[in-house]
Every structure is written in C-alpha cells, then in structure tokens.
Structure 1
C-alpha cells in the first residue's frame, strides 16, 4: 500500500491526504501493517477504516476476480505462472492491456542490521477505525463514537528489513491513460452543456431547460420533478429498518428528564431516547458455569438417549426442566445450552478408551452378580 500511494502522488502531485478502506482481513488489520504505513507515508495517510465482518466487498474485488480468471485461463492453455513477470504476461495476454500492472520483488536487506521489532495493539480485532496523527494513533470501535483511545507511536515500535525491487513500472503508461480519461470527461461535459444549459435551482429537482425563459416559466409554475437518489440494497435495508424501529418506539412528549422507558432507555424532557455511550457495541459474552443439579439433569437426559437409542430433543428437555420444582427461573436452561452440553458429552464418549468401557461393563456384571447372591442369601 505504501508503494501504491507513493506512485499515485508521483502521477498526481496535488494529492495530499489519503483515506484507506479495507475489509477485516488479518493481513491488513495488524499492528505491524499500521506502524509500517505510518513510517512509510507519514502525514499523507489520514485514516484507515475497516468494514464489519462479512462486508467490505467493492469494485476492486470484482476486478480482481476478472484478473484471476485471466490467469487461470492462461494456465489452462499450458503456460506457467510462478513468478511476478509471468503473472503480468498472463494478465496482458487476456486483458489486452486493460489493466496496468507493476511488477516488484520483495528483497531482504541483510545490510540494514536492524532487528525485527513487533508490537501489538490491544484488542485490535474489535477496532474498526484508525486515525493517524503525528504523535499518536487514535482508534475507535465504532466510527466517531466518543473521543477514541490514543496510542502513542513510541509504544508501537516496529521495523522491517524488507524492500521492494521494481522490475517493471506502470507509471509512464498510466499517466497517458489518466490524460486520455481527463480529455474524455472534458468532451462529455461540453456535450452536456450544449444539450442543457439551464437547470432548476430547487434542491432535488431534475428538470433542465435549453433557454432562460423556459426556466423562468418553470419557476413561476413550480412544477418541479423530484427523483429519489438511487440507493444500494444495503442502504435501502438500513433505511427501512430504521423507519420500522422509529414506528415501533415513538417518542413521548410527556416524559420527564431521567425517566426510564419500557425498553430501559432514559427519556429526556423533549421525549427523545438517551442511551449511554457504547450501547450499540458488541459486548463480551459472559461465561455460564452449570451447577451440579443442572449437569446431573442434562446427563440423565443424555443417558436416556444412549439407553433407548432415541436421542432426547434438547428443546423438549428445556421445556420439561421448567416443570420440575428443583429449578427456578434463574437456573432454567435454554435448548441451545442443553444441545451444546449434549455435544460435549458425545465428544467425550467418542474419545473414551475401549478398555475403560470393557472394564465398566465387567464391573456392572460383578455388581449384578453380587446383588443376586445377596438376594438368595436373604431368602
């Protein structure tokens, strides 16, 4: 990433700030990567934001899939792709120069004499937003919620003896491409201006007019045409969900400051809900320790399935548990908890030594024989 940003600054010198966005891949979201970006880019890098889990796919991922398909097709034709130069040949042959590729090799600098120093950012997996300042790194779990946690760069010392050796550069070809794109966009803007010169100044109106008199008549009549902004499916789902939440929990103007609502939120004098900072963050799951009575009940239900050959449904066992007097509301277990305990018991049975099972059966037979002898003597 340092090499990419450096090349972009050389091609477009007017760039002075960069904001990086990435998914939650571990190779990007690491303390070493963040410290190396700061040492390599300095004040050029402003923020680095990571998306939530299972999100973050974008146009670059689609382009990468096209490139991977080109390389796979090149290999299926009987060619080898084991070096960076061969990969570039595979891309150029199938894409016909559509994608500009720079070929570099990672070289270890043995003359640097620097020892590799690694440092870790605490709980980095739960952090999503990083702001780079001159003296420190400011981190957030959720974007711009709170002041953030400040970590001094002196606490994140890291270095590397890896350097990039450029085999084939792309900047000369890419610069021509940027100029062509700029000329194309200029021509397109000129055509748009010739087609429609006067646009309605009302926000949201999409009407366009070729003469000023037509625009004046439109403003006098006020017949504006409004077009909704196109939203992606994710944004549309968020908007609909927010609307349903607001409809389900309407604000109340009769609430007093500090009053608690039915859902546990504070209500101000204006009727707005006031939640404590960090209420939407993902909390740590509390570890539940089963009592002896709970373990004994689940073991009995598990043994019923072993004896009869018909496993007891964990959710049925949870319902039956609520009918027993020895348990109360605090000690009731859910079907998922019982199912998890059943799986642990089954795993222990699979790991049991066959010799132990045979010894247990012999012990049971001895106990039964002893009981039969005692019954006969008592008679």
Structure 2
C-alpha cells in the first residue's frame, strides 16, 4: 500500500496528478473537502490538518468551520529572505507565471484563487526538475519523492489510514446510495486502481456514480440572495421542514431523540433522523422542488439560504454509524454480523488467532453482509438453476401437493434442476462456517491445555468465554439464515404486487389496507401536565390503485375512528364502506393486500368477504398477505401526507386532541389530492362463537369463489385447499359515517372522470399514475429517466453545474432517477424498478441465464478470494481442495417461515 496519493502516482507513471507537484497535491487534497461532517471527522482521524487549507464550502455554508485557521502570510523577514523572495518572483516572472506574489491570506482566498496558486506551484516545481536534470527530470522527481517521503507522511493525508476508514464505512453501508456517498469523499482525488486495492471488486459504474455525486455537491448552482433580516413565515418554514423529512432527503425512520436548545433557553427533544445530503445540496434540491411547483423566486415566497442553513444546524441529523431496522429480520441479521465481528476481535486480542486471519475473516464477513443486503435480492428469480436464488424451490412445500410448485415439473415455465452454484452465496456460507469452525477449534485447543493444567483459573475463564461464543455463534448463524430467507420472500412479495398491478383490467383495483400509527393528541401550546400521559386517536388507510379506461390511477381512503378497536370487526366494516364507494366510481373487481396483523389475518375477516362481495356487488378476486415490511409502503406514504397537513395546522395555532379535531385539521384549507376522509364509528355485535382455520399463520394467499375460498401458502403455488365459508364465523359490522370530507365519490361523475383520463386530462377523484398526454414535460421525464446515465462525461457534468435528475428512487437497488418528486412517487407506486447488481461475476451469469447481463470475473475480487482461501487453509490445516462449506446444502422449502408453536395443547 502507498502512504500518499503522490507516492502511488509516482510509482505508476512517474508524475503527479494533473502535472501538480507537492503543493498541487496538498491543494487538491485540502480543498477537496466539503461541508460534510463525516469527511472532516475522517480527516481529523487520519492526519494532522494542512495549515492554511480552506474550502468553497466556507462560502456556501455559514455553519462550516475550518479545522485549522490559516496562518498569517506576513512573517518577520530578514534582508537575506527578502532577496530570496525577489529572486523567486523574478524566476516566476521569467517562467511566465505572474501569480507568485502573495496577496490575501490563504483562508481569505476564494477556492478558484487557491486552485490557481496550486497550479502555479505545480508548474514551477516541474520546471525546476527540468532545469536541474534536463536529461531525466522524471528520475529527479522520483528521487525527490523518496527523499521527502517522511515529509509527505507528516503533511499530506495518509492515504492508507484514510482508505482504511473509508473501507470500514463502505462495508457498513446497507445500500448503494450510502456507499456512493461514502466513495464520493475520495472518488475525485484517488484513482479507481488505488481504491480497488482496499475495496476489491469495486466496479467502474460505482466509481463513476461516486464521482458524479462529488461533482454535484461541488458545483451546486447556488445563487446568493439578499441577506437582509426578515420576519419568517410559519407555513414556509413548515413546508421546508416537510421537505426535509421526506424520503427524498431523510434516509431511514427516526430512531431515538436528540435534545435541542432553542434561543429561549429551555430544552426539548426531536426525532433523531439520518441524512446523506449536505446542507448546500439540500438547499439546491429544495430550490428545484419549488421551481417545479411554480413558487416565485423571491423572499416573500421562499425561505432564504441563510435560514435553510440555520434550520439544518438546529435540526441536525445523525451521521450514519448504525441503524436499527424496523424490519426485525434485517435488524437481527445485522446484529448477528456485528456480534461475530466482536468475537473475532476478542480472539485476536487474546492472542489465539493471528492478525492476518482476523482481517481476512472481518473482510469476508463485511462482504457477506453487503451481498445479502444488496445484490442477493436482485439475484433471486422465480426459476433458477441455483438453489439459493430459486424462489420456486425455496417456497414450494414438498409435504403437501396442494402447496407445491416443482421446478422440474412440465407445468413450470422453465423446467430445470439445481446443478449450479453461486460463488458469492458460497462465499457467505464459507465465511460463516469458518467463523463457527474457528470458535470450536479454539475451544478445543483451550480444553486440551486445561487438561494439562486443571487449576489454571485463566484457562477456565477462557473456556467459559469461548463456550458462550460458540453458543451465540450458532444462534447468530440462524438469524443470518432467517434474514436470507426473509429477503427471498420479500422479493417475491414485491414481485406479486407489481404483477398484480400490471394485470389490472379496466374496472379492477388493488386495495392496500393498513392501520396507521396512532395520532398523538397535539396542541399548539400545552402544559407539562398535558404533555404526559397522552393517548392516541385510531385511524385507518386504504390505498387504491385502479385501472380506469386503460389508465393507472390511485385514490386514498382515510377513516378516523371514534374510540373503536383495531380488530376484525373494524376491518370488515371499513371494507364494506370502501367497496360501496368504489362501485360508485366504476370499480367492480378488487384485490386486497395487507400485512399479517391479527386484525387482518384472522378467520372472521377472510370468511366475511364472501357475504360482503355478494352484498355490495364488487367481486373480491384475491387477498394477498405481504411479507414483513414488503408491500404496504403506499399506505405509509398516504399517512405521511396526512401528518404533513396536520403539522401545518398545529404550526398555525390549531389543536388536535380528539378524533373530531383531527378530522377538522386535515380537511381545512387546500384538500389532499385524491383522498376521501371520514369520521366514523363501527356498528354491530360480535358473535359468540369464533371458528378457526388450521395453519392460518402459514397461509399468505386466498382466492374467493361464490360460497368459499381457496387457501395457498404463496401466490400460484399449487392448487391450494378449498374451504366452505359457511363453516366459519362471519361478521356483519358496518360503519356509521359521522362526517365526511375531501374528494368524495359521486356516481354522476363516472363518465366525466373516465373521459378526462382517456383524453389525458386531470381527474378530480383519481390521481393518474401515468403522465397526462397534455403534459409534455412529464412525458419527456418518464422517457428520459429510462435512459442510462452511466456514460455521462464527468467533465461535462461538472461544467453543467446542474443535474436534470437530482431525485433518485428510494427502493434499494433501483437506479432510476427523476427530475421531480412527482416522478419518484409515480414510479414507486407502480413498482416497476430498474435494478442493477453492484457486481456480477461469470458464475452469476451462468446461474442467471434468464435475461441477465454478464460483467465478467473481477480479477481483484478473485485475487482477494484466493488470499482468503490460503489463509483459511493455513489456519485449519486443510488440504487445498478440501472445503466443507462449498456444497449445495439447501432443501426444498428452505425459505419458508418458521412456524411459531405455542405451549398449549
């Protein structure tokens, strides 16, 4: 490894980057900083600051603090020093460089002036090499580098230490967007070849995306505005805060709180969130967002740049260190990986394994974690010769023919056998197996030592410690395997939703049911007594995606409950009401989708659908139960819109302490587009008997007939089991509509709505998920967003200083980008994502020979794999070809959920 970039470049081709000498290198490195706190923290960890360094971020972000003040340039000078300076300036003038004389202090110069100084210094140093060694200036340059290597280590950023930190953070990232942000910190100053020495397998695609990200941060088109003080407008501030916490800016859900101290002195807590955008970029994106909305560009209608920075400084976000996932499968898997890494570190600290073996295990573990969280979900297919990737093989039930869908059956679209393996899946199995084997071997060795010295207390403590490690490793490996199973099931669940939307015919709809989190009673001002012991208001969301005259549209139903429970009776009553309203607007067939909460997934809810569809006259084709955190994001987005409206109401001085006040707060002012809002109560009596369906927790798909329903484990897996609805308890509960507001259904407007959508015009009741034919800008965006932006020339992108597509899809693995948030919203609702694996080897291509593209075996990654195998074989004293973990050990039905069995008989 090289200690500095200059040493690396000199070793390669004998010259500095862009013809710069040491001064040029320092200027590039120092001025390449930005206002990202993460970069500043890493520079402070990796090196001593370069004196006099500055940044253009200082000009953009008032909150930026220089890590070290610039030193004065006017120091006491002797007569001899003055003569040397004059001779130097004359030398520069003769060489054609006029900018050798000092002007302002370094910290007061603009970034452009600093770069010019660096270029002049680089040119003069190169000229000195040519004058002093005209026959071979490159040899003198290399010798100079060698002579002053210690100076480079003290003065420049230590590339080795910096890249170790970058590598550590890179492998912690759970998605490509985070990794691109991390790589952008060094992508503009380090070449791909050097970065690959630390991150084997890094693709040119990821490297160029990181460079584009860095260029965008550096060249954000920020216009300085009037700095005069003005009275702020609460709605404008509220709008910016809503944009700030939107999925386009804030990554991840809030976890924990952060204490904030306002100017009045008291303290309060705000949600602790995660952001991956810098202050200047957030300001730029918000300006684009307002431009698209048509907001005038003046201080009366927009928040000023300085105000944006003040708000961002007050509402700070956590720089990413770790995340606690809402998805408990992913959370437990991530915790298991962290625990394994801790055990490995303990073994090395105790001197039981070498530093080399520790580094090899940690690196392989991080690659395994990254693969499962990124590319694995892109590799899984309905049919694949790789057992790890084959959904049909993983979910088919061999014990029940009615729940089977065999891979080699003639009924399969692609009959196949599982005679191939995925090298990356095998690498995951290998490292996890090696960690377990290492723990067992260490425990066995210490037990042998203890036999020879049974009274050694330290050996006894170590045996107990490693015994606990072995037990916890077994549990951790099980959690990681459950995470892998969940990822495969989630991929299939999302694919079923996307296919259902694709197959909607005219008059069909897909309904997503979800109980939103309780609305906490809120007042504009409240006493401390009122703040404690709050209870929440119950409310429910139904999101509808429908096909009207060949156009995909959406509509939302919000039901605010007045004291009713989140039970099956409430769900059945809401279903009756929603179906009756949709029938007025021409929807006659629906598919229902929800999570696995017990108020949805119960016998009474499912059996009551038979009578409900007969009574209303709307056919329920199917009820899909989605995988955990994989299928109800559309309802979550509706909840976010409602909460934004509620927040504006409270900021304007309103209170929302009752269901009625909550209802009033979201119907006042401008109506929420394509949303019907109801204040309701549930009427009806619960029956005394309650029949049960055996194995309901393992069933995730139901189709309905006139008198019953067919249950399946998964969609299209086998013929299923038929059930008579009369054998189960049914509910007849209904909603009592107390008040209604928003965009309501009207049977007399069916024709008008259909004609408007058919002609590409805006509808009142529905919101089109495709661009209207009259909106050419929207259509152009949809077409151009499908184009690949991988080949955008970096220099042209830098000169442009403004990107056409600043908003990216929030779904992990999707590389689609859009010019507006509306484009992102439409794209996510439809669910047709544009995936690109981070890496794809030749064996991956052979395994996915169903339409995927190959990118060839990566030599760096292959070399890294050989090094790991060599170290592993050396530790375990294995033969070269012996590898107990490189086998296809999966069985049919391996990805099924574990059935939780209670202790009751």
The TM-score range, normalised by the shorter chain, is 0.3 to 0.5
Identify the structure with bigger relative contact order (alpha carbons < 8 Å, sequence gap 6+). 2
Taking structure 1 as the reference length, the TM-score comes to 0.48
Taking structure 2 as the reference length, the TM-score comes to 0.22
Q: Give 1 or 2 for the bigger CA radius of gyration.
A: 1
